[in-house]
Amino acid sequence: MTHASQTSLESLLGPLPHLPIRSLALDFRAWNKFRQHNLISILAQMPYLREVRMVVEYGRDFAGPIAFLAVPSWRGDLTHLAERAQDEIMEMRRDLGVLGGRREVLVTCVLLTKGGEMV
């Protein structure tokens, strides 16, 4: 990663703790990239945050309405990643003494679908 792209990521993520965001959805590929740049710490510092969705694409033809579906149980790998991220956020909130840190932040992994159906 070049210095310019790293600076761009930092400028994108930097203001997040100061915004009153309650729910956030991130593409799974972006999640993995941002995680390398302190994403968990940034999410932990967001006192209003209550929900984070890790979004996995299902297919690529998204003309028209889209929807989120829960990840099927057979994708335990994704469920485990979401649970681990949730635990890390809550642990960091406690360590940082973040306002609202006692409130749970629910992290889930969802599928982005066309019209709410897996096509």
In a domain, 42, yes or no: yes
If we measure between CA atoms, which residue out of 60, 49, 56 comes closest to residue 75? 56
Query: What confidence tens digit (pLDDT) does each residue in 67-109 have?
Result: 888 898 899 999 999 999 999 999 988 888 866 556 789 999 9
In a domain, 28, yes or no: yes
The confidence band for 54, taking pLDDT boundaries of 50, 70 and 90, is very high
In a domain, 119, yes or no: no
Domain of residue 18 covers 3-114
In a domain, 48, yes or no: yes
Distance CA 77, CA 63 (A): 29
- pTM, 2 dp: 0.77
The confidence band for 7, taking pLDDT boundaries of 50, 70 and 90, is low
Total of domains in the chain: 1
In a domain, 94, yes or no: yes
4 has a pLDDT exceeding 70: no
Mean residue pLDDT across the chain: 81
Give backbone dihedrals phi and psi of 37, rounded to 5 degrees, phi first. Answer: -120, 45
DSSP string, 13-79: HTTGGGS--SEEEEEHHHHHHHHTTTHHHHHHT-TT--EEEEEEE--S---S-EEEEEPPTT-HHHH
